[in-house]
Structure 1
C-alpha cells in the first residue's frame, strides 16, 4: 500500500517521535454559546487483518460505509510501546492542515502528536499519519523505550483523532488481542534480525549515533533530481541493526513513499557509527536504531 506525502515547508527531519504532551485548546466564547460539533463516529466493516511484510508488521481494518470506507493501518515500528497510525479515505478528505493533531484512546486525556503528516494513499486518497505511544499517561524520560503495556491495550476500545477539519472516532473494539498479534509478528521479525526481544521488557540504553547531522545531510544530497525538480516530497522510515562495537550490520526499510530512495538511504545509513546499546548490566548489546527521513518542499 503506497503513500505519497504532501508538499509543505522545505526541511529534512532525522530522528524518532516518542515524547507527547497533554493537548488543551481554549477558544474565546461568543456571546451566544454554540454547541460543539459532534465527532464522526465510524463502526468497523471488516475484521482486523495482520499484514506480515518482509520488513514490517501492521494491523489493517476498514470503517464506515462500504461504498466510501475509511482505512486504519496500525504499525509497530520497533519493540517499544510507540505505534504509527495512518487513517485514509473519506474521513480525511476535509483535512487541510496536519498541525495540531490530538489522539484520544478513550482512556485518560487526549495527547498532542508531534510531527503529524498529511499524505495520499494510492487506493484510498487523503491520509494522515501520526506516531504516538500506546500507553497510559504522558511520556516521562525514556518511557517511550519501554515495551507494550498489555493491561492498557485491553482497556482501549476506540481511537479518536482531531485536527483542523477532522473530528473522528473509530470504534475499534478492545485492542488487546489484535495488538498482541501485531507484537508477535514484530517479535518474530526482530528475532530474525538477531535482536534479543526479551530485553525489550527491561530498560535498554539505546545506541547513540555519533554524527546524525552529517548522516542527514548525506541522505539529503542523494535526493533524486527528478523528484527535486518536481517539488515532490518523500518520507522514509528505516531501522539499523547496531552491533556491540557500534557498527551497522544491517539496514531495513520499514516504510517508504519513494522506492527509489531506499538503496541510497541504507547505503549512507550503514556508514554511521554509534556508541553501542547497553543492557541493564551496562554491557554492550546488539540492538536497533530507528529513524525517519522526511523531505518536504514548498509547492
Structure 2
C-alpha cells in the first residue's frame, strides 16, 4: 500500500536520472516552433492559467502554465505530436537562456486534441536562490518523492525578479531519442506580470489579507509531519478495485489558532471519491503553527499542496 499514494509540495518537482536516450537527443538540432496565437489568461476561482499555441499542422503544440497561489512555482504542460516518444519515456525541460532545468520520468497523458502531453509540477522559469535537492526518504505509509526545497522568500511567495523573468524567451523539451522541441516564448516579463496580478486577486477572493501576507514573518507551517496527513489507507477501496488514479490540488484555510477551518479542492482529475478522501483526512489530521504578520501576531491564512493517488 505504501506505493499507492505520493504527496508533493507546491514547490516540489519529480527528479530522476535521465536515460541515455534523452541525453543523446541533445546532439540533435531542435525543432523550433514559433507562436501562432496570443497569450490567453484564464482567471478561475482557484487558479490562474496561461496558454499559448505554437507551430502549425502536424507540429501544432500547446504550452500551458497554471498557478494556484502567489509565488514563483507553477504547473507546466506542453503537448503536441512533436513530443511523441515511447510510453513512460523520460523527459527533460529547460528554460533559456540560463533558466531552470527539470528532468524525470513522464507518464503518457493527453490534453484535448493535443497528444502526447509532458507535465511537471513545481516548475520555475529561473532557479530560485537557495533551491536544493533533498534526499529521498520512505516510510511504511507514504513514499516521499525527492523534493526541491528553497529558503523562505523575502516577499510572500516570490524570489524571482521581473528582470530575471524578462530574460527567459524559450523552452526546450527533450524526450528519449526524439528531436528536441524548442518553443519560442518571447520575453516572459509581461506574461508573468499578468500571472502575478491574477494570483494576487485569488487571495482577495479567498478572504486573505494580501498586504498582511506580503509582510508575513511566518507562513502557516505544518506542526506535524504533513506527509502522514493523507496515507495509503485513505485510498478509497472502491477506486483501488477500479484501478483508478488521480491528482488532487487542494487548499486548507487555516485559522489564527492553527486549526484547519475548511478544505477546498482547487483542481482535480477526479473521480470525486479522491477529493472527499483528501479533505476528510486533512481535516482530521492537519495541524499548523499559524501564520504571523509583520508584528508577529497570528492571522488567518492558508496552506496548499497536491496529493497523487497512484497504483503500483
TM-score range, shorter chain: 0.7 to 0.9
Say yes or no: does 1:282 pair with 2:282.
no
What do you get for the CA RMSD once the two structures are aligned?
3.3
- Which residue number corresponds to residue 126 of structure 1? 116
- Which residue number corresponds to residue 3 of structure 1? none
- Counterpart CA distance in 1 for 2:300 and 2:49 is 24
- Counterpart CA distance in 1 for 2:7 and 2:46 is 20
Given that residues 44 and 61 in structure 1 are in contact (C-alpha distance below 8 angstroms), is that contact kept between their aligned partners in structure 2?
Answer: yes
TM-score normalised according to structure 2 size: 0.77
- Counterpart CA distance in 1 for 2:17 and 2:229 is 36
Which segments of 5 or more consecutive residues in structure 1 lack a partner in the other structure?
1-8, 28-32
| Structure (1/2) with the larger strand percentage | 1
Which segments of 5 or more consecutive residues in structure 2 lack a partner in the other structure?
132-149
Given that residues 119 and 127 in structure 1 are in contact (C-alpha distance below 8 angstroms), is that contact kept between their aligned partners in structure 2?
Answer: yes
Matches within 5 A, 1:97-116: 97=88, 99=90, 101-108=91-98, 110-113=100-103
Matches within 5 A, 1:84-233: 84-94=75-85, 96-97=87-88, 99=90, 101-108=91-98, 110-113=100-103, 118-130=108-120, 131-136=122-127, 139-140=130-131, 141-142=150-151, 146-147=157-158, 149-165=161-177, 167-199=180-212, 201-202=214-215, 204-209=217-222, 210-217=224-231, 221-223=234-236, 225=238, 227-233=239-245
Q: Cα distance 1:54–1:107, how it changes in 2: closer, same or farther (>3 A)?
A: same
Say yes or no: does 1:14 pair with 2:3.
no
Given that residues 19 and 139 in structure 1 are in contact (C-alpha distance below 8 angstroms), is that contact kept between their aligned partners in structure 2?
Answer: no
Shift of 1:75: 0.7
Residues 144-169 of structure 1 deviation map (CA, whole Å, 9 limit, x = unaligned): 67315211122211122334355221
- Counterpart CA distance in 1 for 2:46 and 2:19 is 42
Poorly superposed stretches of 4+, deviation over 4 Å: 19-27, 113-118, 199-204
Residues 64-113 of structure 1 deviation map (CA, whole Å, 9 limit, x = unaligned): 114552111111122111111111221332153354x4432213255235
- Counterpart CA distance in 1 for 2:110 and 2:229 is 28
